Every structure is written in C-alpha cells, then in structure tokens.
Amino acid sequence: MPEVYTAFENEDFFSSGYELQAMNSRGIYSPSSGSQETASVSSVLSSLHDNELNDISVIGNPYITILEQPTEKFRFRYKSEMVGTHGSLVGSNRKNVPTVRLHNFLDPAVIRCSLVTSDEGFPRIPHAHKLIRRDAGQDYDDPHYITVSSETEYTAIFHGMSIIHTAKRHIRDELIKKMRLEALEKKKNTNIKATLNSREEAQIKVDAEHYQKHMNLNSVALCFQAFVTNDCGVMIPITEPIYSHTINNLKSALTGELKICRMDKLTSSVEGGEEIFILVEKVGKKNIRIKLFELNENGCEIWSAYGRFSELDVHHQYAIVFRTPPYKDQDITLPKNVFIQLERPSDGESSDARKFTYKPSDKIIGRKRQRISYSGSSELSYISPNTNSIGNENISELLSNSNSHELSKEIKKLLSEGTTAPVCKDFLNDIDFDNYFKLLLNSEENMLGTDGPSIVQHQDDVMFAKNILTEIMQCMKMDAKNMEEYIQKLLKDRSTYGDSPLHSALRYGQHNIVKYLLMLLCTNKDCKTLINSQNSSGKTPLHYAVLQNQPEITKALLMLGADPNRTDDHGFSPLHVAVKISDASACVDVLLAEKGIDIEAYNDAGWTALHLATKAGSYDAICSLVHAGANVNNTDMSYGRTALHIAVEGGHKKIVEYLLKKTNISVNKRNFSGNTALHTAVVHTGTRAKELCALLIQHGADPHIQNHNRESNDVNKKKESHVNVKVEVHSEDENIEGTIGQSSFDLAMNKPDILQVFNGQFEKTTNKMYSVTTKLELKNEDLQTNWLNNEHKEKLSILLNKTQGWQKLAKHLNIEYLLQTFQHNSISPSLGLLNYIDVEAILSLMDMQTLLREIGEEEAADYINEISSICS
C-alpha cells in the first residue's frame, strides 16, 4: 500500500489532547468533497480561515489522539458470561469511556476501533479476543466504526464495549478469520477485486498457528484508525493506526490485581528470619515477590529487601509462607515502621503497601555496638537532664564514682535500718543474704553499665532504669514520708514495651544497675510480683537475664522467686529461650538446677526445650537437658518429630551422634508424615547426607519403613503390590503398618552414594533379616553372603549398559516397573538395578549368573563366574 498518509507522531500533540479539545471546540466544517486528494487540499485551505491559535494544529496530515484511554484493568469475560450486564470498558479515570479525536481533517470520516496485541515494540497484530459493543440490547462484533465530522467535533466515543475472552480452542480460528480480513483489506486498497491467493492463505494459517501459542491472552490494546470510504466502497485509511495503552485481564494470576488479604502478624524482629503467613489474591508461584521497604519523610524509598520463600512456600496461588529479611539497622531501639507489598516481576506490578513493623532485637547488648564518643564528659551527663524534680547530683556522683562495695554497704545499711515493711520480714529471713550479696557483688565492673546508648535519640529509653534508680536513691537519702510508697511506684514504672526498670536495665545490658535493683527488690514487699512482671511481649526479667547470657543474674532472680516456667507471648519459657542460644549453657544449667522447672513444657508452636535446642544446634544444652532427664522420645506437636529428626534435618552430626550413642532415643520413630530420621537424612541436601545415613544405619535405622507419601503413578501401584508381598513374607517384622508409601530406600534410589551406605550395612548384618525372599533357591552359601562389591558392580554395570541387558534382567525379575526409575535417575541404569537387587536381596550371585545366561548376557555371566571363582 502506498504510504500516502504519514503519521503525525509529535509527542506534544499526544499529551496535549485535552488542550486541543478546548481549542477546537468551535469545530470546523467544510463541505464534503469526494476524494482524498481534495480532502488534504481542503484541510490546507480551511486552515487559512481558521483562527491563529489553531494554525499549528491544523497544518499537516490527519492524525488521531486519544482523549480518554481505556482502563488498565478489566475483567475479560467468556462468551458464556455475556448474559446480563457486566459493565463495559470505561476510561482510565473510571468515569468516561474510551474516546479519540481525529485532527487535521475536514470531511466526515469513520474511526475504527479494533482489538490488537499489546506487546509494545512488536508489530501489532489482531488479537484473538473479541471486542464487542452492546448497543440497545444488541451485541456487535468488532471492528467498530464511528462516523466523525465537525458536528461531533471529530470525536468518537466508544460506549458499551467489553472484551470477550476467546476460548483456547477457538483462538486459532479466530486469528485466521481476523488476519484474513486484514490482509484482504490491505489488498483491496490497491485493487478492489483482489482476493487472497492460496499462498497467502497458507501463510496466514502458519502465522495463526504460531501466534496461537504465543499470544498473550491476558493483555490487549485498542487500535484506532480513521478511514474514508472511496467511490468503490473501499475503506481507505487516512491516518496511521494509534494504540491505546495495555488493558490487562483482571481475572488472571498473570495480570490480575495483587492484594494482600491477611497476614499472620505484622511485626518482626530486626534480625529477620521470622516466619509469616500471608494470604493473597491469586498469584503465580514463580512470579511473585514480597517486598519490604522503608520510606523517608519525602516518600522516597530508603531501604528495601525481599521476604525469603521458595515456590514450595506458595500454597495454591493464595497463600505464602515467608521469612522476613533482616532490617538494615540491627541496633534500633524503637520500633521501625516500614511497608510490605507484593511485587510481580513479570510486569513490575505491585499491591498496595501495608504497614509493617520491625521491633528492636531482644539481644541488643549481645552484639558489639559502635560507641559514639560523647563530647568531653562521662555518661554522667545523661543522668542529669531528666532530673528537674529532684536535684540528685550527689546521688549521681555516688552512683558513678563510688566503688560498688561502698554503695552496696550503703544500701544494705538502708535496708537493715528497718525501712522494710513487716510483711517481707519472713521472706527476708528465708533468703541467704550473705550468699545472695556475694553473688551480686562478685563483679569487678563499674557501677554504670558498660554500654552506652548507640544513638543519642534513644537515651531516654536507655537511661530509664538508671534514672529510676537515681530517684530511688535520692528518695532514700531524703527519708521522705511516703518513701516506701514512692519507691514502690518507681519500681513499677514502665518504659517502652512495658519494661519495668529491671527489664530495661537487663535489656540494655546494664548489669550493675540490675544488681542494685535486685538488692532493692529483695527487700520489697512485692518482690515476687515485681520479679515476675511481664513486659508487653510477655517476657519476664528472667527471659532477659537468659537472653543476655547472665547466669549469675539468672540465679539471683530465681533466688528471689522468679518463676522459671512463666512464658512469654509465644509460650517460650526462659528455658526455651536459653537453649536456643548456643553459648548460654551456663544459664541452661542454672535453670535446670531449679526445682519445679518443667523441662518438657511446650511452647506455643508445640516444641519442647529439647527440640528447640536441637534445632538451634546447642550441643551443650542438649546434654544438660538429657542429664536433667528430658525425654528424648518426646515429639514436637507440629510435625511429630523427635529430636533425632530435627538434628538430622539441621545436619547437626555431633548431636545426632550424641543422641544415638548416649540416649535411648528410638531411631525408627516416625513423624506425622510417617518419615523416620533416616528418610530425613536421605533427602538431606547438605553434604552430610551420607554420613548421617551411615550413622543412623549403624544404630539400627530401618530403610524399609515407609512414610505416608503416596505417589501417584503406575510405578507405585506396582510397587505397592511388590511391597505387600514383601510384608507378608516378613510378617514377623513388627509393625511396618502395612502403609503405602516411600521407604528411605525408595528415596535413595537416585543417590548411589547413599545406596552404598545401605548396601554396606546389609552385607554385614542384615542377611538374617532379609533372607530367602525369592522363589529362587539360594545354593551357594558364599555367594549368598558375599554379593558383588562396588567395584564389581561398576564393571558389571558397564557390560549391562552396553548391551541394554539390564532391561531384560529387570523384566525377568518382575521389576520392570522400575525401568524408568533406573533409566532416569541413576547415573548408570545398570548400577541402579544392581544396587536394587543387592539391597532387596532379590537373588544370589549364582542365580544371577544363571539368569544372565538365560537372557543371553553371556559376557556378564562370564564376568560373574570369573569373580565368584576368585572369591571362593
């Protein structure tokens, strides 16, 4: 087609469509003229008597601007859904409908709207979907034509359109239909009588075939083009086509709206790694990310990170279980508000952002923190500001300068001078004060916490305990009337997170302040209550003492009546907390020494201390727990695992070894999924899989125990029957439970090194257990007990691979259902088969030799003959 009309693609005109509309509102009328030639002439002429403002816009070729884009999201409907009304394609502003205007043209023309592919940068082709237009209860297929003229200000308004999702099976036909029409129209522009020749028809079919597979069915665009009809009734385009932006299918996981529906919790520790369950609208598991980000005051993103999860953590397109990433700043002392949103890599779409909060770590002091140098003075300067009510310079000085012995004497004196209420006399009598104070004073640290605040703005928080203590001292010195009451009030004061002074001092590692607070507390009538007070996350001072790995303080707290079994909001007792910290074994021991501690207690997730310790790999804690009498065969309530499962899962070889060697843990215990520790070891992805398997096998793990994992193929069907036969034979083998599932052995099928471990063990010990399982009688004792070693197996497998004899062998052994397994999974199919025969003790070497001869594998048979003669 000759390029008579060139595009007018000035960006300015595109973006200034609205201004143009205003300027042209008067409209231009010119008497109709027949041909295109005169059309452009008349447009030039008319520009002469148009006002100056319009000059720029009227000179040039006709073009179309889009006054109103269609919405970006629209639900594509199937034909069958088109009963009744479902709303039509509206404009991007949600009110109007798609609208375009023809410029630089003075005759009536028609504007066509059709549906095309949306891939920008690629040639637009007709889309397989339909764009229907409903008018007065009638539906019309695309394309749609609207006549424009000066009366309508050359504006075409496309009402009542909707997009019909062509069914997959009709895509090709629909494409062919549209592509034929397009090709025909093109040809007719030059020759009215033109038809498509068979070569063109064929080409269209080929193209349609191709597009059918690759067309994006969830995105379309509208195509607008203006035409005039010539004398022969042929549509002659007078503008280049212009395309709307993309319209995406609202119902698809690929382009649908991303939405966070619900979240399990909205907070995480700065350390990250916390598991969160999030319910979402339909997503594709391969095409979704969870982004956490922070904005500054100006709304600029200043931090972002992605939640950690795998495809397997996306449940049925509607839920995701992910772990939070660590926050950039581990040292925050106040909650940090950030945002969380879903992000779709394929098109960069994202959901609305939800608020999310990072909480400061409980172990703030556990880490090395950068110390900010305070100008000129000691930390003393931090004490004074908050003292408008009480002039306490003396006390401050006392606190900071006096050696601790002096001060403790001071306190002790105060305490013994009868300031204590009679109620606690009994309690005080019970306490071994000498020991207690020795414990507390057995420290050479300075009075003030060794750690200053890392960030100045949080000094109030950090100084909370110190300020309270200062006030108390002040109060004592002044011997005020309501002193006791006042002190009581001070001790009960709370700071951020509901911290009592004791919590706060512990949280910030101000160990000396802790000690002084404890001295004060021990004489207080509400001592027990105060000691056991819980902050807003339910933690007691004991939790923090343990988190800070302070065995002495832990002990002191216990002496003062701290309840070792009080749990935090997640059901964690101090023991639960302690065993998770690998170097806090001293605290574990202190706790375990406490009578009344419940070592089998479960946290809210259904884990005992032993499970938590195992998960964390805290070897010492495990030993302590076992010594303290923890039941090693106790299972967690969420997965039914013993510590052995958990240890294997975590690859903690040393712990596995300990459990197996030093405890009476049951090696073959199955978890809720029916898996034994050996199953877990076999599928272990780390480098230790083999060692772990060996260890378990050594301690009697049975690789034939099956889990509850029912596979879903023919292979398994057959295997079931196979297994059932086996079970019958070994009916004395207690409780294989007749279940249908995978054994450790099954799981190891494609792991030759692990099979070796299994084999090695059977060569030595298991012939008794798995003897005489086949119809074939075993004749040669030697060959029965000594099967092929690995080297022999490899050599033999080379022979059998060469001739494909392994397939025949498998068939004759009635295990052809495993052919595929061997074929696909083994490095060498024959080796897989041989290992299988070996482990399952299907037949003796002698029989093997016979069988090989029967099936014509002379070379292999000879080889066996050769090695067996060497052996004997």
Partner DNA sequence: ATCGAGTTCCC
Partner DNA sequence: CGGGAACTCGA
Contacts with DNA, residue ranges (CB under 7 A): 75, 78-81, 84-88, 165, 167-169, 217, 250-254, 284-285, 314, 316-317, 712-713
For DNA, the closer of residues 84 and 233 by Cβ is 84
The region that residue 398 occupies, defined by phi over 0 for left and psi between -120 and 50 for alpha, beta otherwise, is alpha
CB of 89 to DNA, least distance (A): 9
For DNA, the closer of residues 65 and 88 by Cβ is 88
For DNA, the closer of residues 527 and 818 by Cβ is 818
C-alpha 612/C-alpha 576 separation (Å) is 7
Question: CA 509, 512, 516 angle in degrees (round to 5)?
Answer: 125
Count CB neighbours of 265 within 10 A: 13
How is residue 371 written in tokens? 């110390």
Task: Mark out the alpha helices in 675-828 (DSSP H runs).
Answer: 677-682, 689-698, 714-729, 744-747, 752-765, 781-785, 790-803, 805-812, 819-825
CB of 742 to DNA, least distance (A): 14
C-alpha 382/C-alpha 395 separation (Å) is 13
Q: 81-114: string of b/e by CB count within 10 Å (b at 16+)?
A: eeeeeeebbbbbeeeebbbbbbbbbbbbbbbbbb
For residue 241, count CB atoms less than 10 angstroms from its CB and return exposed for 0-12, middle for 13-18, buried for 19 or more: middle
CB of 257 to DNA, least distance (A): 8
C-alpha 97/C-alpha 106 separation (Å) is 24
CB of 194 to DNA, least distance (A): 34
Helix axes of 404-414 and 511-522: crossing angle, nearest 10 degrees: 20
For DNA, the closer of residues 121 and 137 by Cβ is 137
What is the rounded (10 degree) CA torsion for 531, 535, 538, 539? -60
CB of 707 to DNA, least distance (A): 15
For DNA, the closer of residues 257 and 594 by Cβ is 257
For DNA, the closer of residues 75 and 722 by Cβ is 75
Q: DSSP letter at 416?
A: I
CB of 820 to DNA, least distance (A): 13
Identify whether the C-beta of residue 163 lies closer than 8 Å to the C-beta of residue 131: yes
Residue 586: C-alpha distances to residues 363, 551, 578, 582, 618 (Å): 17, 6, 9, 10, 12
148 by DSSP, 3-state: which? Answer: strand
CB of 259 to DNA, least distance (A): 9
CB of 251 to DNA, least distance (A): 6
187 by DSSP, 3-state: which? Answer: helix
For DNA, the closer of residues 75 and 699 by Cβ is 75
CB of 172 to DNA, least distance (A): 12
For DNA, the closer of residues 162 and 523 by Cβ is 162
CB of 83 to DNA, least distance (A): 8
Q: Which residues contact 526 (CB under 8 A, 6 or more apart)?
A: 488, 491
Sign of the Cα pseudo-torsion (306, 312, 318, 320, in order): negative
Count CB neighbours of 194 within 10 A: 15
For DNA, the closer of residues 29 and 78 by Cβ is 78
For DNA, the closer of residues 713 and 872 by Cβ is 713
3-state SS of 21-45 is HHHHHHCCCCCCCCCHHHHHHHHHH
Q: Which residues contact 562 (CB under 8 A, 6 or more apart)?
A: 531, 532, 540, 541, 542
CB of 322 to DNA, least distance (A): 16
Please name every residue paired with 289 in a beta bridge, in sequence order, or none if there are none: 343
Task: Mark out the alpha helices in 508-604 (DSSP H runs).
Answer: 511-522, 527-531, 541-547, 551-559, 574-580, 585-593
CB of 253 to DNA, least distance (A): 5
Backbone angles phi, psi at 111, to 5 degrees: -115, 130
CB of 159 to DNA, least distance (A): 12
For DNA, the closer of residues 313 and 594 by Cβ is 313
For DNA, the closer of residues 88 and 835 by Cβ is 88
The region that residue 62 occupies, defined by phi over 0 for left and psi between -120 and 50 for alpha, beta otherwise, is beta
CB of 709 to DNA, least distance (A): 10
C-alpha 247/C-alpha 220 separation (Å) is 5
Identify whether the C-beta of residue 632 lies closer than 8 Å to the C-beta of residue 626: yes
DSSP letters, 738-777, are: T--S-BHHHHTTT-HHHHHHHHHHHHHH-TTTT-S-SSSP
For DNA, the closer of residues 209 and 854 by Cβ is 209
CB of 126 to DNA, least distance (A): 18
CB of 81 to DNA, least distance (A): 5
Residue with tokens 């302690």: 578
Identify whether the C-beta of residue 128 lies closer than 8 Å to the C-beta of residue 215: yes
Whether cis (ω within 30° of 0) applies to the bond prior to 143 is yes
CB of 256 to DNA, least distance (A): 9
Count CB neighbours of 377 within 10 A: 9
For DNA, the closer of residues 316 and 368 by Cβ is 316
DSSP letters, 314-361, are: EETTTEEEEEPPPPS-TT--S-EEEEEEEEETTTTEEPPPEEEEEEPP
CB of 822 to DNA, least distance (A): 20
Q: DSSP letter at 313?
A: G
For DNA, the closer of residues 317 and 454 by Cβ is 317
